[in-house]
Structure 1
Amino acid sequence: MKNTAFKPVWWARNSHIQTILPLLTKVKSPALTRQRLNTHDGDFVDLDWLSQPERNKPIVVIIHGLEGSAQSHYARRMLMACQQQSICAVVHHHRSCSGEPNQLARSYHSGDTQDVTGTLKFINDTYPNSPIWAVGYSLGGNVLCKYLGEKQSQSLIQRAVIISAPLQLNACAKRLESGFSKVYQSYLIKQLQQKTINKITHPILGEHMPISKNEVSALRTFYQFDDKVTAPLHGFAGVDDYYHRASGLPFIANIAVPTLIIHAQDDPFMTADVIPNPEQLSPLVEYELQPYGGHVGFIQGGKPWRPNFYLEPRVLNFLSCNKNDSNNK
């Protein structure tokens, strides 16, 4: 385990400042070009491209977190950082997160590697000479971790970074039921409730939903929501089966490409259960545990109204390390 030189600015040592302030800070969004991919089951996922890929140049695939998108603060910052370094980047949107409802009752979840696999295969088939790098945030980080562990040496990704990932879903769900963390849970649950209601009231999709409209308002925790909606919609026996099978932690040992995992000890979404033991780490995984940083925060300087962040240079520095080797795809 490594701890690099991240030091939060004095006014941002509080985990909630680290987590909330980035949500309130305006981040410029570069021009993006949308591309829709049809899925094998009759649905779609949307990709937002920063620029046209160039032969032999890497493509950074950004995988957003729960209810995130290309407009999330961390995605915008990474896109801007890639643009400044003339690196091609694309945001993979989970189903229903690109601003348009998906076409099936099912949506996405923390262990859903199927759609990411489809996106990566499309990119690899279309741009076979371009190495693929990936960065996953929060839920997207867990998905990325699970994908890398499942595919092992067959991964289409050459280098990866996983940030603030809930690698033990059960522990993280319980953490969000206590203290100020309940505020984050409430904010996200309301969004999930509304999407669920929209599908229940849909003339066709409603027939396939496992819950009635009147029952949705009672789902006030992730544990309740995942038990009554996520698990049955996606083929799990229940919430415990879902959390067990979808958590990324057991997959880390099988990762076969250079990967950086970054956590903050003060992350209000997490507990120490997400921290892997040394024997759980693949030799190709570099694990970075910071004492501060909040959830996808890592503010290191600047002013409260114009902070600067640790993540973007750290991520791109890791991804571009041994660039010559990774280009020999």
Structure 2
Amino acid sequence: MRGSTFSEHVSTYFNSVLETFTDYYPTSANSILPQISSAFAAQELQLSEKLNTIYACVALVLVVLYLFKQLLHLDQMGEAPLVHMKEGDDEVEVDTVEAGDDVDCDVRTATSRVLDIKRIMDKCSIFKSAYKPTWFWGKSGHIQTVLFGVMQKPHKAAADMSECKQYSVTLPSDGSVVYFHVYEPLKPHESEKLRIKQSILPGEEVTLLLCPGIFGSYNKSYVQSTVGAACSRGYRIVCLNHLGVLEDVQLKTPRLFTYGNTEEYAAMCEKAFGMFPDSLFISIGYSMGGNQVCKYLGEQPERQKKFVTALSICQGYDCIRASVGMTRWDKMQAVYSYILTQRWISLVEKHPLIMQTAVERGINWKDVKAARGLGQFDRLFSALVLGV
């Protein structure tokens, strides 16, 4: 029953009672009825206000619960991964290839590596099972970000203790100068301690080559956490600073970092190989940096021989789907797109060479500053600056 209907019923009943009282006690009614009517009107107003408050509270709770569900991704279910490989012109899904299948000689070589992967997956059932994250925080990157801010402090403290030096390398393509930082380990690696204990083969140096995410550099919190955790366990860190990101460094050429260009990371890796010739190397990329690491290793497969392994952390796998997803509001993706766009705009404004290039190419900076998403910014600015 709605609040207005309930009030009308109460008012009708009260009026009938007052009429009966007036018929039987006319003298008393004239003296006390005004007071009763005034009191009832006040109570009726309070009742209406309370009901409105209750309705407003219920509506607010429902809205909060909906946002809570959306932000924490509580409605998402885990899915089993689909693994596939592409060799030459042949693409074969792992789930469709069996070790005992009859395979034509022309494609046997192309599918041999796929079969090798399938044998590994058969022994590791986790690769075929759906990933089911922890109910509360495991599904939400928002909650994970907050928790990370609390849990990273001990690692950042360790990073402050490590010796850090800045180096640079010049890109042969256009003379751009790329800066990177090197953190030395705080103690010997486990293999070195094992060598001392057992007096066997020399211990190994292990160097992690980091590629941060968008707008990333050595001083980002997640990088510092990695530095602290790794250096305290005997690893050396070499961290790329994306072009144009460092606050105290101006660009030497009109070139900012881009989402998929691997030239800067490749130049840093080659420099590191020369600086630490006796070290083992592990490649690590975060988010956009994960894309660049995978692209770097896949562009020239012989590069993979330099690394023990590689890690891609929180990488976006499908650029087309991601670009569309960043325009949606159901999981607040558009908010992140807007924030990143404003970061791009402020970054460009810090570098006169980039601004001058924009002027020379006839880019309307007023329109660029009005961009509300990454897609708009890339169309109005990045693509025109790069000439694509």
TM-score of the aligned structures, taking structure 2 as reference length = 0.54
Structure 1 stretch displaced more, 196-205 or 164-173: 196-205
Give the Cα–Cα distance (whole angstroms) in 1 for the partners of residues 139 and 273 of structure 2.
Answer: 41
Note the C-alpha offset of 1:198: 3.3
Q: Deviations over 1:183-230 (max 9, x none)?
A: 211221111011223346878555556623212212221111222333
Contact 1:199 1:205 in 2 (8 A): no
Residue type at the aligned position of 1:102: L
Residue type at the aligned position of 1:141: G
Match for residue 83 of structure 1 among 231, 234, 259: 231
> Considering only aligned residues, what root-mean-square deviation do their CA atoms show, in Å?
3.0
Q: Which residue of 2 aligns with 1:64?
A: 212
Q: Could you say if the C-alpha distance between residues 181 and 101 of structure 1 is closer, same or farther in structure 2, counting changes exceeding 3 Å?
A: farther
Q: Which residue of 1 aligns with 2:323?
A: 173
Residue type at the aligned position of 1:14: S
Match for residue 46 of structure 1 among 162, 165, 179: 179
Give the Cα–Cα distance (whole angstroms) in 1 for the partners of residues 166 and 130 of structure 2.
Answer: 36
Note the C-alpha offset of 1:234: 3.4
Note the C-alpha offset of 1:143: 0.5
Q: Deviations over 1:66-117 (max 9, x none)?
A: 1122222221121111112111111111101232232222211121111111
Q: Which residue of 1 aligns with 2:369?
A: 217
Match for residue 340 of structure 2 among 181, 185, 188: 188
Note the C-alpha offset of 1:129: 1.8
Whichever of the two has the greater Rg, that structure is: 2
Structure with more helix by fraction:
2
SS of the aligned residue for 1:91 comes to: strand
Structure 1 stretch displaced more, 75-84 or 149-158: 149-158
Unpaired runs of at least 5, structure 1: 238-329
Contact 1:63 1:92 in 2 (8 A): yes
Does residue 233 (structure 1) correspond to residue 382 (structure 2)? The answer is no
Contact 2:254 2:354 in 1 (8 A): no
Q: Deviations over 1:21-63 (max 9, x none)?
A: 5357663252432112222222211111111799841210111
Q: Which residue of 2 aligns with 1:37?
A: 169
Note the C-alpha offset of 1:123: 1.0
- How many aligned positions are there? 236
Q: Which residue of 2 aligns with 1:140?
A: 289
Does residue 98 (structure 1) correspond to residue 246 (structure 2)? The answer is yes
Structure with more strand by fraction:
1
Give the Cα–Cα distance (whole angstroms) in 2 for the partners of residues 201 and 190 of structure 1.
Answer: 19
Unpaired runs of at least 5, structure 2: 1-80, 82-126, 189-202
Q: Which residue of 1 aligns with 2:45?
A: none
Note the C-alpha offset of 1:151: 1.4
Q: Could you say if the C-alpha distance between residues 170 and 129 of structure 1 is closer, same or farther in structure 2, counting changes exceeding 3 Å?
A: same
Give the Cα–Cα distance (whole angstroms) in 1 for the partners of residues 141 and 152 of structure 2.
Answer: 20
Residue type at the aligned position of 1:47: F
Does residue 160 (structure 1) correspond to residue 301 (structure 2)? The answer is no
**Identical-pair percentage:** 20
Q: Deviations over 1:9-29 (max 9, x none)?
A: 845643321245535766325
Q: Deviations over 1:125-181 (max 9, x none)?
A: 222221221110011000011111111133343310011112222211111111111
Residue type at the aligned position of 2:141: S
